[in-house]
Amino acid sequence: MTDLVVRPLVAGEEKLFDSMPDPLPQLRQISYADGIAGGGYRPEHTFVALRGDRVVGRAAWLLLPGSVGEPWLERFDLDLKPFAGAARPADAAGSVDTASEIGAVLLRAAHDALGGPKVYHAALPAYWRRQPEARAVAEATMAAARLAGLVERGERIRFSWAGGPLPAPSGRFSFRSAQDAAEIGALVARIGEPVVLTGAETARVVAGVDLARDPLAWLTGTPLGNWRVALHGDEPVGLAGPTADACFPMIAYLGLLDESVLGELLADAVAALAGGGAYEVVADVDAHRVAVVAELERTGFRRIRSRVVFTPA
């Protein structure tokens, strides 16, 4: 078997990175060349594993221009074809002979060059566990991440609402715009842990902002009046930060003081965005929040992708 070579890309090798077929084409990720043009990908943050002229593994760390944080691993793909259904080769001790081992060698070499392991957001189809091919891809890359010293921390699901009727309000709650930044800040402090956070990873890396604790520091382009406060009588019971000022309309923040308002606050936030002309609204939620996932689906959202998060040990 041809020796494995792991190295960073050099400027002008965008086609080499993109020469490897995308193992999960349903994710519709941008090409590496477009990522280079936009400034998020850089050759010195990109590594490939080669056998001869063939790319058998690739990894690209993303850092948006102007970011204050560290790059995160955004693209990590392995070629499973040589190993599909095959027995483990009886090579010499220490040889690299599985896709996951190739991936681990690739990641370790990159970590050494980048000053240590970085966060990895493993992008996957929404129902990847139910799809044998997608599951095989996911299991190989995640096994490689673990071998390279990364630890799985959880899964986040992205949902999308793309039109359709919203559940009718019960009449139990009322909704209004936030009065000012002080009211928003006070409710955020009382809520503590919001149940919907969209774009939290980007806020942390780009601006060093904890979206859960200080959403106004990130959502600077969103008018304060766009924030929605849910009320039971005169008492605030929930807060939503719908915004159309990001790359697409989203529910950037949604937190509760009364769990029973969740569905109606979701519908109110979506209606506010749709009333402003939004045709699609996205929302991210931790997969372990089963009740929130169910309420999003009842409100008309559908799953469009998952991200399994790995961090350095």
Q: What pLDDT sits at residue 85?
A: 47
CATH of the domain at 242: 3.40.630.30
- Whether 1 has a pLDDT exceeding 90, the answer reads no
Q: What pLDDT sits at residue 82?
A: 66
Domain count, the chain: 2
Residue 32 lies in a domain: yes
Q: Which residues of 36-61 are buried (b: 16+ CB within 10 A; e: fewer)?
A: beeebbbbebbbbbbbeeebbbbbbb
Residue 156 lies in a domain: no
- Whether 94 has a pLDDT exceeding 80, the answer reads no
Residues 197 and 99 in one domain: no
Backbone dihedral angles phi then psi of residue 98, each to the nearest 5 degrees: -135, 160
Residue 284 pairs with which residues in a beta bridge? 158
Residue 241 lies in a domain: yes
Residue 289 lies in a domain: yes
CATH of the domain at 28: 3.40.630
Residues 22 and 104 in one domain: yes
Residues 133 and 201 in one domain: no
Residues 87 and 109 in one domain: yes
Residue 155 lies in a domain: no
What's the mean pLDDT in 125-141?
A: 97
Greatest Cα pair distance, the chain, in angstroms, is 73
Decide which of 94, 123, 148 is a domain's last residue: 148
Decide which of 126, 148, 170 is a domain's last residue: 148
Decide which of 103, 123, 148 is a domain's last residue: 148
Residues 15 and 141 in one domain: yes
Q: What pLDDT sits at residue 131?
A: 96
Residues 73 and 113 in one domain: yes
- Count of other CB atoms within 10 angstroms of residue 107: 28
Residues 167 and 289 in one domain: yes
Residues 27 and 103 in one domain: yes
- The string of pLDDT tens digits covering residues 161-175 is 999 999 999 999 999
Q: What pLDDT sits at residue 86?
A: 44
Q: Pairing state of beta strands 196-197 and 235-243?
A: unpaired
Structure pTM?
Answer: 0.92
Which of 141, 110, 173 minimizes the C-alpha distance to 23? 141
Average pLDDT across the chain, whole number: 94
What's the mean pLDDT in 267-281?
A: 96
Residues 78 and 135 in one domain: yes
Residues 233 and 289 in one domain: yes
- The string of pLDDT tens digits covering residues 64-92 is 999 999 999 999 999 998 655 444 443 43
- Which stretches of the chain are DSSP H helices? 14-18, 32-38, 99-114, 132-147, 181-191, 200-207, 215-218, 262-275, 290-298
Residues 90 and 132 in one domain: yes
Question: Domain of 13?
Answer: 4-148
Residue 141 lies in a domain: yes
Residue 173 lies in a domain: yes
| CA–CA gap between residue 11 and residue 307 (Å, rounded) | 29
Alpha-carbon torsion (158, 222, 40, 202), positive or negative: negative
Residue 153 lies in a domain: no
Residues 214 and 256 in one domain: yes
- Whether 158 has a pLDDT exceeding 70, the answer reads yes
- The string of pLDDT tens digits covering residues 177-202 is 999 999 999 999 999 999 999 999 99
